[in-house]
Amino acid sequence: MERWPNDDEMLIIGIAGGSGSGKTTVASAVVEGLDSSDVAIIQHDSYYRDHPDLSLEQRSELNFDHPDAFETELLVDHLRALRKNDPIDKPQYDFATHRRLPETVRVDPCKVVVVEGILVLVEPELRDRFDLKIFVDTDADIRFIRRMQRDVKDRGRSVESVTSQYLETVRPMHLRFVEGSKRYADLIMPEGYSEPGVGTVISMVRSHLDGD
């Protein structure tokens, strides 16, 4: 953590970790623990690039775990706009069709913005936007089981497709990009979600909000 913003400045927190690590749970727990309407959460997944020129079959074969799969430059622009007290229109992504939806979600400037995603600590320009960087570190077998349960239940995938994607892209990209990015973290939560870890983050943010 290179700097802590002034009391009147926006605080931007980046939460990274492998697919199924529990980073979304951590992000939600931080937001809930703050009990404040002046907090926004942004998922890096919302910024997947759209490929309207490809068929559903072709889109399903894309490598969604590589940094190039994301329009990170748009997210960087959006964080810059929020920091300048300008609202943004956050994209929405449909995981069933692998397409960006035409509707966007308005996000107004607020005191705290939480950004979560597997690769948010990988890209230097995005990483430099964060005042606090967190990595949720979870064993590979737990991450795989969670991903399997989520993709089958919530995204309509088959066991075979989830397994194939994990072996072909998720695991290799995790080892190539995600795992090494934790060296940039100010705080690492071992074994995934951690109440003491979340409590520490909440205390730090509350102190900032209260001007202590």
pLDDT in tens, 58-91: 998 899 999 999 999 999 999 999 999 999 999 9
Give dist(CA 86, CA 114) in Å, integer.
Answer: 17
Which one-letter DSSP state was computed for residue 98? T
Domain layout of the chain by residue ranges: 11-207
End-to-end CA distance of the chain: 18
Q: How confident is the model at residue 151 (pLDDT cuts 50, 70, 90)?
A: confident
Phi and psi at residue 9, in whole multiples of 5°? -100, 155
Give the residue from 142, 28, 49 showing the smallest Cα distance to 91: 49
Residue 148 pLDDT > 70: yes
pLDDT value, residue 95: 87
Give dist(CA 212, CA 210) in Å, integer.
Answer: 6
Q: What is the identity of the amino acid at 158?
A: S
- Range scoring the smallest mean pLDDT among 29-43, 100-114, 125-139: 29-43
Contact, 48 vs 70, CB < 8 A?
yes
What percent of the chain is modeled with pLDDT above 70?
Answer: 95
- Summarize pLDDT for 6-47 with one digit per residue, the tens: 656 899 999 999 988 989 899 999 999 987 778 999 999 999
Give dist(CA 109, CA 113) in Å, integer.
Answer: 9
Q: How confident is the model at residue 4 (pLDDT cuts 50, 70, 90)?
A: low
Residue 190 pLDDT > 80: yes
Query: pTM of the full predicted structure?
Result: 0.89
Which CATH code of 3.40.309.10, 3.40.250.10, 3.40.50.620, 3.40.50.300 fits the domain covering 11-207?
A: 3.40.50.300
